[in-house]
């Protein structure tokens, strides 16, 4: 399945099936990955390879970085995400995008008992005013945008940011604000942009730095 982000120079590949590349992948020696982790890892790398092929890159190797971030081929940025029903990857040339963040979530994952851990006061206030159905969708959306933002910003800043360190801009979810001084918010990450859509019952968030 291809999702059309290519007008923005972003190439993607998503699948709802397990792709077994385990005999070809750069797994760490003596890894202790569970079956689920192996399956996610393999399918995520498969999506990344299919997305890279759209940029003319064949048979790439995408090792696991120290911080678990994928190490993309020279001149490429990208991001991978898996949830139980869908896995995907997005890639672009680093001359077009400074970084990319992708997150896929099943709707309804962020139950109200998690709200204090993952949402700021403003976000909770916004969500509280919604109908029960909208709460389910929009709480998942905000959570997913924050996870995608983390994957966008981490390769650039090498900084850990907690869920309460960032806030989604309301009402149209077009950007993520960083609320803490631990990273330079005047740097390019301040110009982040959210692209958001749903596919096969999942919400998909993409963060980049272009409109």
Ligand X SMILES: CC(C)(COP(=O)(O)OP(=O)(O)OC[C@H]1O[C@@H](n2cnc3c(N)ncnc32)[C@H](O)[C@@H]1OP(=O)(O)O)[C@@H](O)C(=O)NCCC(=O)NCCS
Provide the binding-site residues for ligand X, judged by CB under 6 A: 40-41, 44, 67-70, 79-82, 103, 146-147, 149-151, 154-155, 161-163, 166
Q: How far is the CB of 99 from ligand X (least distance, A)?
A: 9
Q: How far is the CB of 130 from ligand X (least distance, A)?
A: 21
Residue from 203, 173, 18 nearest 109 by CA: 203
Q: How far is the CB of 78 from ligand X (least distance, A)?
A: 9
Q: Are strands 176-178 and 193-199 parallel, antiparallel or unpaired?
A: unpaired
Residue from 52, 53, 42 nearest 87 by CA: 42
- Pull the structure tokens for residue 155: 């390769």
> How many angstroms separate the CA atoms of 132 and 129, rounded?
9
Nearer to ligand X by Cβ, of 136 and 166: the residue is 166
Nearer to ligand X by Cβ, of 80 and 110: the residue is 80
Omega within 30 of 0 (cis) for the link into 171? yes
Nearer to ligand X by Cβ, of 166 and 195: the residue is 166
- Pull the structure tokens for residue 69: 């971030």
Nearer to ligand X by Cβ, of 29 and 133: the residue is 29
Per DSSP, the three-state class of 44 is helix
CA angle 50, 52, 53 (to 5 degrees): 65
Q: How far is the CB of 131 from ligand X (least distance, A)?
A: 26
Residue 81 · residue 88 · CB < 8 Å: yes
Nearer to ligand X by Cβ, of 44 and 140: the residue is 44
Q: How far is the CB of 96 from ligand X (least distance, A)?
A: 18
């Amino acid at each position: 399945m291809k999702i059309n982000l290519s007008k923005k120079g972003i190439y993607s590949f998503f699948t709802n099936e397990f792709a077994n590349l385990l005999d070809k992948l750069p797994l760490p020696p003596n890894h202790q990955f569970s079956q689920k982790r192996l399956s996610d890892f393999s399918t995520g790398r498969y999506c990344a390879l299919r997305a890279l092929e759209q940029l003319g890159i064949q048979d790439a190797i995408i090792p696991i970085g120290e911080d678990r971030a994928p190490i993309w081929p020279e001149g490429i940025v990208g991001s991978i995400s898996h949830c139980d029903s869908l896995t995907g990857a997005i890639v672009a040339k680093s001359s077009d995008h400074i970084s990319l963040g992708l997150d896929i979530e099943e709707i309804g994952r962020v139950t109200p008992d998690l709200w204090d851990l993952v949402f700021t006061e403003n976000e909770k206030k916004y969500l509280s005013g919604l109908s029960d159905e909208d709460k389910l969708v929009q709480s998942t959306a905000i959570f997913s945008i924050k996870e995608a933002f983390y994957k966008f910003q981490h390769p650039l800043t090498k900084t850990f940011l907690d869920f309460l360190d960032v806030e989604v801009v309301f009402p149209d979810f077009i950007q993520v604000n960083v609320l803490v001084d631990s990273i330079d918010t005047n740097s390019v990450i301040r110009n982040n942009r959210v692209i958001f859509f749903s596919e096969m019952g999942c919400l998909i968030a993409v963060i980049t730095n272009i409109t």
